Structures are given as structure tokens and as C-alpha cells.
Amino acid sequence: METRWFLSKIQDDFRGGKINLEKTHRLLEKLDIRCSYIHVKNIFKTSDYPVVLSLENHCSPAQQEVMADNLQTTFGESLLSDMLDDFPDTLPSPEALKFKVLVKNKKIGTLKETRERKGSDKRGDNQDKETGVKNLSGVMLFKKKKIRKLKISLALSDLVIYTKAEKFRNFQHSRLYQQFNENNSIGETQARKLSKLRAHEFIFHTRKFITRIYPKATRADSSNFNPQEFWNIGCQMVALNFQTPGLPMDLQNGKFLDNGGSGYILKPHFLIDSKSDFNPSNIKESMPITLTIRLISGIQLPLSHSSSNKGDTLVIIEVFGVPNDQMKQQTRVIKKNAFSPRWNETFTFIVQVPELALIRFVVESQGLIAGNEFLGQYTLPLLCMNKGYRRIPLLSRMGESLEPASLFVYVWYIR
């Protein structure tokens, strides 16, 4: 559920009261919240499946009402503003939400109350939402924290249906009190700690609730973490800084090649089944795959900075997945030939959990002094690889095609 995810930061601009939208996709580029019809139409150009518009909302209630009006005007019938009749108390499937835009934000009240207010005038109707802990049944279950109140406009609140933003406290609180339409956002540091210490509870949590992982605040350089560790425990949304190329973005783009690049892929059965005791750090039962790749040759590999077809080229094949499946192997170096190098080398990998595994091909030019130079890469899910003789296209560091540069391989695997 990654490529259909938009994170927007909306705040008051006091130079005239205009609402600005700051979108983290390429570079942080300020855009007016009003979108043209062409932009809205293009949202579903790649995929019919729903788009989640996550609002980091710092606006006053009056500006929130303007925001709600703009969202309704811009998206029209595509904006989901009421629960589906067939899903009053469960999350609908992406199939049931095709061509819909979902707003993720704080919400006041229940879905039933939202439906009862439908069609009424909500202007000027604002409520305080407390963020903190609740004293339930006279017993303080969790550490008391300072309670702060947020002013939320009912007009904007009622546009939030199945993606209500709710602060994550702990797994026990979620099991007891969290509603089916409440989503959690957890910082990478806390999520990493929980995934190591309480993996079973984390996976149980992601079976019931949509969970988003976001980069820690100290990543001032917009660097990224490895998303694989959070896919391994079933997190549906793993937010990355798309403007920063590198390994994490290669894994992100490769992961969602599956299912036609629609932005949605099915979880493996062991991350859904309530009887499963799957733990990515402690694999007890598995059906491993023996993967064999014969790397035959390269075709017009990208030029190095020396602008010569006589680079010393090599290929690294990496496996990303559960910790025990992380491995890599590399070819020998072919001297002074980047145009048509021939390796004809065979590599074998035993992958314990192939459903979560990604294969990454990296082409480098050997450098003895400054280190190897990156030339191109391609990443894809292991189970998306077809058997037989195959051509592997290469992409640049920015994810752009390097046609006709490619690798020629023979792939085989057995279970």
C-alpha cells in the first residue's frame, strides 16, 4: 500500500489566510491545495485502487472548513465521505474502494454519528479532541501524560471515514480500545524496538489495524531507513523520503512491481492467519526455495565517469528479506569491457521465506582507489521472477531506465 500514499502538510499561511499544501514526493515543493481537473484525473491513471491523502493538519478550525470545501470541490464523487453500506464495522478491501480518495486526519465521533450529520450545515461547529490517556472503569491503565486539546472542524472531521489518525500508545491499549477504522503512525525508532522485542504482538496489531511507519525526526538530510524490516512484520504503509535515491528507494520501487505496479499487494498468509506464530527473526517452520541464477553476460552497460567502454565491470546479486535470508554474492571482474562482458557464472541461494524476499542486481565499475562506482541496478520480488532465460533491465540511481543496458541471465528455482 505504498505507492498510493501521499503525505501532505497543511498549515495556515498568515500572509492573507491562504492554505498551502506541502507535498513530499520529489523535492518538498509548495503547492496550492486546489488541484486542477487534470491532476485529479491523473491520480488513477496508473491504478484504479484508492489513494490515501494523509493530512498533517496545523490549521485553525476556520481554515479547516475551507480545506474541507476545497477537498470536496476538487475530488467530487471520488472523495469518500460516508461509510460503505456493506462495511459499517470492518475495513473494506481495496477492490471495494476503487477510484476513491480517502482522507487521513483526526476525527470526532463515530461513523454512525458522521452519517447522521450528513447534509447538515457544519460551519462554525468545532470540537476539542483530547490527546492523552483515558481513565477507564476507574483504573488508570497507562502512565498519565499531559492532555492537550486540538480544535477540529466537524466539516473536515466528517470527511475522515476508514482512515482515522489515532496516536499509538501500546499494543494492550489497541487490543482493548482501538476501533477498526483507527490507524496508527509509529516512528522508526520505536517501531524497530517493538519489532525486535514484541514481534508477535506487532504482527497481531498489523493484522487488525493499518499501521504506518515514518522516518525519525533527526533525518534532517532526508535519508531513509531500510523498509524491509517493517514489511517483514506486516506494516501496511512504510513512509520514505522519495526525494532521496538509494537502496531503500530501490527496494520500495522493486517491492511494488508486484500486482502490476498497482500500489497494493497481498500479504503472505502467515502475516494474516491468526493462528500463525511467524517471527521474522526466528523462523521455525518454512518452505524454503533454492534459487539458482546463472549470470551469462551484460549488454551495453552504462558508462562510468571515465566515459569509456573499457570499464572493469562486476555484478552483485543481493537478497533482502527476513534476517536469515539477507545475503549477497558477486561475479569476478571483467577487465576493460563494459559493452559486452561475459561472466557465465552460477550462483545459488537458499531462501527461507521467499514470499518476503527481494532480489537486487547491482552493476558496478571496479575502482581500486576511490572504491567501486555504481552503474545501474534492478530490484524485484523473488516470486515475480520467471524461470528460464531472462533479460534484466537496468535503472539509474534515480530510478530512470538505462535502455538498452541490461543483463542476460538464466533463472531456476525449486521448492
> pLDDT in tens for each of the 415 residues of the chain?
444 545 445 555 443 444 444 443 433 344 445 555 556 667 888 899 999 999 888 888 988 998 999 899 889 999 999 999 999 999 999 999 999 999 999 999 999 999 999 888 777 767 666 554 444 444 444 555 555 566 889 999 999 999 999 999 999 999 999 999 999 999 999 999 999 999 999 999 999 999 999 999 999 999 999 999 999 999 999 999 999 999 999 999 999 999 999 999 999 999 999 999 999 999 988 899 999 999 999 999 998 776 566 789 999 999 999 999 999 999 999 999 999 999 999 999 999 999 999 999 999 999 888 889 999 999 999 999 999 999 999 999 999 999 999 999 999 999 8
> How confident is the model at residue 39, as a pLDDT?
63
CATH 1.20.1050.10 fits 289-414, yes or no: no
Spatial separation of the C-alpha atoms in residues 327 and 317, rounded to whole Å: 9
Choosing among 3.20.20.190, 3.40.50.1100, 3.30.1370.60, 3.30.230.10, the CATH entry for 36-134+146-165 is 3.20.20.190
> How confident is the model at residue 18, as a pLDDT?
45
> How confident is the model at residue 29, as a pLDDT?
41
Asked if 362 contacts 316 with a C-beta cutoff of 8 angstroms, the reply is yes
Angle at 101 between CA 97 and CA 106, to 5 degrees: 110
Determine the 3-state secondary structure of 301 from DSSP. Answer: coil
Q: Any residues with CB less than 8 A from the CB of 406 and at least 6 apart, and which?
A: 298, 299, 300, 391, 392, 393, 394
End-to-end CA distance of the chain: 28
Same fold, 167-278 and 289-414: no
> How confident is the model at residue 119, as a pLDDT?
82
Closest CA to 9 of 214, 226, 167: 214
pTM score, whole prediction: 0.86
> How confident is the model at residue 44, as a pLDDT?
87
Topology given in CATH for the domain delimited by 167-278: TIM Barrel (3.20.20)
Asked if 381 contacts 258 with a C-beta cutoff of 8 angstroms, the reply is yes
Domain-by-domain residue ranges, the chain? Answer: 36-134+146-165, 167-278, 289-414
> How confident is the model at residue 16, as a pLDDT?
41
